Structure 1
């Protein structure tokens, strides 16, 4: 065993435990700052749809790092709320093209100040330099371990997905 590694007898020595706790804290602050109109996953899907209009449900799930069954449920809920529309793709009748509605765009716009407060609150315990370092390290941790996920993030476009 390397000198720098302990026996890991305390949960607070386990990165996974700390990441889970950080996620719990993040979700709690999310609802404080963003309200209850959207869940964090719904927000992520809608935010990604905003910049990928016309994308299919499977691809939207992939670029959001969400499994396809959860993605389908989330899209159905967002459609019920009038925040997106799903249209059959003529070339593949099993797929649906997703489009954000005006109400969805307005909601995302209205949530910008809350998302800014969320970020500030979550990172507040860190100095400015630590915030930059933390975000860089967290991004690296997520990117380098992406393939270990049950729903790896994908940057594949719908057109590329159909070809490959």
Structure 2
């Protein structure tokens, strides 16, 4: 057995369990700092849409790392809230081109301070150098394990 492994009797030695707990903490802080107008997934979809106007909803879901059926549901909710518009793509009537509305852009702008506070609060237990190292390692962990996901994240440059 490699020296970095134990018998994993203690649940808090399992990286997946710690990642799940970190996600729970992150979501809790998200609502504290960002309010309840958007869920974390809605925020991620809207933020990605703002960066890629006109993207279709299948590609938007892929660049956000969620499955297409969840993506469609999230887009419908955002449309109901008046934060995005979906239009049929004439060359493919099954796809919808998405654009963020002025209200959606305004909301994202209003949420920037909350997003900054969220990041600061979540990373506060770490020193500055630890924060940089943690973000680098977390990014590497996600990127290197991307294909293991049920909804692999599609790189932005290959989607459209």
Q: Does TM-score exceed 0.5, indicating one fold?
A: yes
Query: Which residue is 1:123 aligned to?
Result: 123
Aligned pairs for 1:47-126 (under 5 A) are: 47-126=47-126
Q: 2:159 aligns with which of 119, 141, 157?
A: 157
CA distance in 2: counterparts of 1:40 and 1:111, whole angstroms: 12
Secondary structure at 1:42 match in 2: helix
TM-score by length of 2: 0.98
Runs of 4 or more consecutive aligned structure 1 residues displaced over 2 Å after TM superposition? none
CA shift, 1:150, in A, is 0.3
Q: Would you say 1:41 and 2:41 are equivalent positions? A: yes
Q: Structure 2: state its 5+ residue gaps.
A: none
Query: Which residue is 2:145 aligned to?
Result: 145
Query: Which residue is 1:17 aligned to?
Result: 17
CA-based RMSD: 0.5
Q: Deviations over 1:112-147 (max 9, x none)?
A: 000000000000000000000000000000000000
Q: Deviations over 1:31-52 (max 9, x none)?
A: 0000000000000000000010
CA shift, 1:4, in A, is 2.6
CA shift, 1:5, in A, is 1.2
CA shift, 1:157, in A, is 2.1
TM-score by length of 1: 0.95
**Count of residue pairs the alignment pairs up:** 158
